[in-house]
Each structure stands twice: as C-alpha cells, then as structure tokens.
Amino acid sequence: MWHKSIQCPFQTHTAYICTMRQFLKFTLASCLGITLAFGLLIFLMIGIATSATMAPQKTVKSNSVLEIALDYSPPELTNNVEASAMGLNSGDIVGFQDILKLIRLAKSDDKISGIFLDPSRMGYGPVTGHDLLAALEDFKESGKFVLAYANFYGQGGYYLASVADTIMLNPIGGIDFRGFASFVPFFKDLMDKTGIKMHIYYAGQFKGATESFRRADMSPQNKMQTREYLEDAYGEFLIDISNVRGIDKSRLRSIADGLHSSDAKDALALGLIDMIAHEDEATDWMRRRSGLESGKKVVKISIEDYYTTKNLKQGTGNDRIAVVYAEGSIMHCDENYGTICDGQFVETLAKLRKSKKVKAVVLRVNSPGGSILAAENILREIVLLQEAGKSVVVSMGDYAASGGYYIACTADRIFASSNTLTGSIGVFTMIPNPNALIREKLGINFDTVRTTKHSASFSPFFDWSSEENAMMKKRTDDFYEFFLEKVSEGRDMTVDEVNDVAQGRIWTGKRALEHGLVDEIGDLQDAIKSAASLADLDEYKVMEYPKLMDPWTKLITEFTQQSAQTTVDRYFNTKLRQQIPHFDELRALITTNGPVARLPVIIQH
C-alpha cells in the first residue's frame, strides 16, 4: 500500500495527501523541539534565579580563616576555561592573578586571621607555583599564620606547603619528594606495524615535538636541552624550599635520592613537616592561633567565596592600561575560552588600538604555541598597536614558547620569570599517510584520473613523490626563515644571531635573558609598571581582556546559540579532559592545520 512506502507515488491525489502528512509531521516535530528547548531554557533560567535568590550573600566574618584548597589548575584570568555545556556549577573559576590579589588583600584584611592551605589536589606550572609561594611568604609578614595540612603531599603540593608556619601531615600520609623527570612516548614502531606513515618536516635541530613519530628514543640534542631546563627548574624548586624551610639544598637533594620522605614519621624526623596530625587537630591549632576559646567554631571562607566579597579593580584615573591574557594553545578560530583564538584576539586588540583611553597594552602570555597562521594574525595586530603609538609590554607566565614567543617578539619590553620556558623558535609540519594500512591491512585500493601532474598530490591514499616531499620541506624551511626574521626585527638582532639561539631550542627565562630573547626578570606587576613608565602615566586603571562571561551566562549563551551536537561535543570534551592529562594540548596538536610552532613539553609540579 502507498502509505507504507518510503516515497509517495506520483498520483496527484495521493501526492497531495502525502505532502500534507509530511508537512504536519515536520511541523509537529519542530514544535515539539522548540517546546522542549524552551522548557529547558526556562528550567535553566529558574535555576539561575533560584541560585541567585536562595544562595546567601557571602560575607567575611571576624576571625575568618582564608581557605585555599583548589581542586583545579587555575587559569590566568578568572573563568577563562572551556566550560561544560552540561555543567550547572554557577561558581566562578577564580584565576591565578586574582588569587594573588586576594592573598594581598587578605594580608591587610582585619577580618582574616590566617590562611589554611590544602595543596594536595592543586596543579600548576613552575611560574605559577613560585608566584603563589612568594605571595604566601609576603602574607606572613603581617604576623598572620599560614597552616598547611594534607593527607598526602605531592611534590607540587609540598612546594607550596613549605612556606607555611606549620606543616601538618596525616599519620598515614607521606610526601612524594623524588625529583623531576621527563617521560616521552614514541610511536614510530607502532606506526610501522600498523602501516601508518607520518610525513614529518621540521626546522631546528632541537625541535623535539616530532621525535615521537620519527624516532624510537630522544635525540642527543633534545636530551641535552631537556636535562638543562629540568635541572634549572629543579634547582629553583630546591632553592625556594631551602629558603623557607631552612634545609640545605644538598640535603634536600639527598632526601629525594634516598626516597626518605614517603613515611610521615620519616618526614617529621627530616624536618620536612612540623606535626603529624589529623584534620581536627589542625582545626584546634587554628582555633588557638586565632585566639578563640576552646570549642568555638573556626570560620573558614574559601578563596572562591572571598573572591565574591572583594572589588579587584586596580588603579584610578581616566587613562587605561589594558592587560590582555593570551593563555592556552594558539589556534585559528573565532572564540573558545582557554584558547588563544586569532579571531577573538585580533578583534580585541583592534578595539584597544582605536580606544583613546587605552595608552598601553600588557600581553600576558602563557602558551606553548600552536598555529603559525593564527600567531601571525595576532602579531600583525600587535604591530599595528605599536604603530598607533601605544606601548606593548609582554609578561611571560609558565610558557611563552614557539608560537607563544612569536606573538611576544616585537614587544617594547619583555618580562619573564627565571623559570619560564620560552624560546623554542622552530617550525614543524606533520601529515599522516595511512596508505599502507588501507591497502595492505584493509585491502582497499584507490585509482585516480588526473588532469595535471600534481592534481592528486598530497593524498593520503598514495605514496608521496620526491617532489611532494621537497615542496613540503621547503615550505617548512620558509616558515622558519620567516620566524627568524620576525624575531630579528623585534629583538634588534641579526638573523644569524637569532638562528644561533633558535633551532627550536627551549630556554628558561634566566637563560633567555642571557641570550637577548627577553629584557628583564619580573612578574605581571613589574610589566604593568613598565608599561605605565613607557606611556608616561602616573594614574591609570588596569583593565583586563578578553571580557568573559560568568559560567551561568556562558551556559545559557551556548545553549541558545549552538547546535545540540556542539553541546554534546563540549560535554564529552569535558569528560575526556577529566580523564586524559593535558587533553587540551593533545586536541590542539591534532586539530591544528598547517605548519605548527609549538613547545614539545608541558611541565607541572
């Protein structure tokens, strides 16, 4: 019968009936979809309203203890992370720079009696950790206490805890204190077995990002540079702990070599901690230090709640210094929180260039690099800023390497921390070719008809000719020369001088200073002061960019503007991010098209 057929027959009457039925079906489906979407939107809006009305307004009570117990790696800028479109957490993701500001405010806040630090779940890079340690040390100058307590300390957690007046450890706990190491997986043998060939082109003998796909071990050059920056970072790590704990650096290295701190009793005997205790004993300690009577409740306020009670705007006056946070991988995209999308950054920098109030720009770079195309688009707008008469100062975070250095190289002044990873001036291109896998393992063959000699070139279904390989190698070398020229112009060096310190080699901040790649060792506040000096400003307000939405607003915006598939993709990306270390970096490497300028490592305490 016709109504059981997938297609309507061509009779006029039945076609009319079929057409009407299809119309009604799609109309009802559309109405149902709109109704469900509208209902979910109403639900979300009710959730926002309920959260806003039912959640008590946070206040700082007298004798409060500021609790810093982050279970996430803080972004540089508050809320600058890719949020889950399925998440219903309306809390702000407090950024690293705001955490530093809050610690400085707590130092002079009469209602804050001390800081309770639980660093057991915190993750951070070498510069982030050093600056947090310095902020906590400065806080102690007020006479207020800092107490650290954890069931177990990882190396990064212990590093932060070391500044505390008293370090407590659970009786069953221990300290993972065994030095730094780099682990690099290599996939060449696996690809050879599966029939996947990787076409690899790189410029710079130290550009180690491609080695996992073309070697079975680290090259001597890569091993040398890795050892160098690991030793530099570990040396800074030991010096900082030595200074605040009063334990000789050589003694700390001996403890690490002997694995002597895995037991709480050993950690106490070695002077790494001050007390073996349970959490209730830590609470009693804070009660006594706060001058509270026995049994009186110790009031804690989390760093997230403290953030909601404070105005963190800096400065006065009509003039502005814009701080633009460039953190994450550099990609050719429109906008994505936690990523340096050239579309968003070009638009932001162009607005700052045209603003009469903005007198200078500080670019805070915390990026391992990424797409050369995107980096060039951003650098072009930075140059236009300078041509418009506005000073540009760069402040480097944990990383400002490869593409991250590319967008920094023309700045009027460049500040780095001593253990920033920077340089890595080099380029690589990687293109997989599964031809052997498809042909030999799966039994699929391809044939082609060409109109010109190269119309089917660079195909994953055929072996590449020497001409194709030569062209890709030349293109990669050309990009490297282009990179060298940009650095040469920005740093007032000859191309040969840049090439001597380039070659894809990674430098720590203090070594980059020696080689002329940065101008000073300093933090973000030093860079802001330098920008004010260059712009001849005595009074100014500091404005932060890019402008970001809070998590609830972002959730509603994504829901109303994006497709269901995009929403699902974001949800699963969030789940993968929780399960796979450095998921964002891996995704950026896989999805970036064209030549790449990227740091081959990520260091985390």
Confirm if 391 and 414 have CB atoms less than 8 A apart: no
Handedness of CA 291, 293, 294, 295 (dihedral sign): negative
How far apart CA 21 and CA 4 sit, in angstroms, is: 13
Q: 66: helix, coil or strand?
A: strand
Which element (helix H / strand E) includes 14? helix 12-54
Q: Tell me which residue of 432, 367, 379, 431 sits closest to 404, measured CA to CA.
A: 367
Which residues are within 8 A (CB) of 409 and not within 5 positions of it... i.e. 6 or more apart? 379, 486, 487, 490, 491
What length does the chain have? 605
Tokens representing 70?
């982050």
Which element (helix H / strand E) includes 19? helix 12-54
Which element (helix H / strand E) includes 276? strand 275-276
Confirm if 147 and 285 have CB atoms less than 8 A apart: yes
Q: Which of 391, 402, 417, 530 is catalytic?
A: 402
Tokens representing 157?
């957690």
What does the buried/exposed string (b/e) look like for 286-300 if buried means 16 or more CB atoms within 10 Å of the residue's CB?
Answer: bbebbebeeeeebbe
Confirm if 531 and 360 have CB atoms less than 8 A apart: yes
Residue 188: C-alpha distances to residues 126, 191, 234, 536, 592 (Å):
31, 5, 31, 56, 21
Instruction: Give the 3-state DSSP-derived string for 405-423, with helices as H, strands as E and coil as C.
Output: HHCCCCCCEEEECCCCEEE
Q: Is 473 a catalytic residue?
A: no
Q: Which of 101, 107, 207, 359 is catalytic?
A: 207
Instruction: Give the 3-state DSSP-derived string for 363-414, with helices as H, strands as E and coil as C.
Output: EEEEECEEEHHHHHHHHHHHHHHHHCCCEEEEEEEEEEECHHHHCCCCCCEE
Beta strands in 34-173 (DSSP E): 64-68, 112-117, 145-150, 166-169
How far apart CA 385 and CA 289 sit, in angstroms, is: 52
Task: Mark out the alpha helices in 117-248 (DSSP H runs).
Answer: 126-140, 155-161, 188-194, 211-214, 220-245
The phi, psi pair for 396, rounded to 5°, reads -95, 140
Residue 516 CB coordination number (10 Å): 14
Taking the alpha carbons at both ends of the chain, their separation in whole angstroms is 71
Q: Is 30 a catalytic residue?
A: no
The position carrying tokens 């080699």 is 505
List residues with catalytic annotation. 207, 402
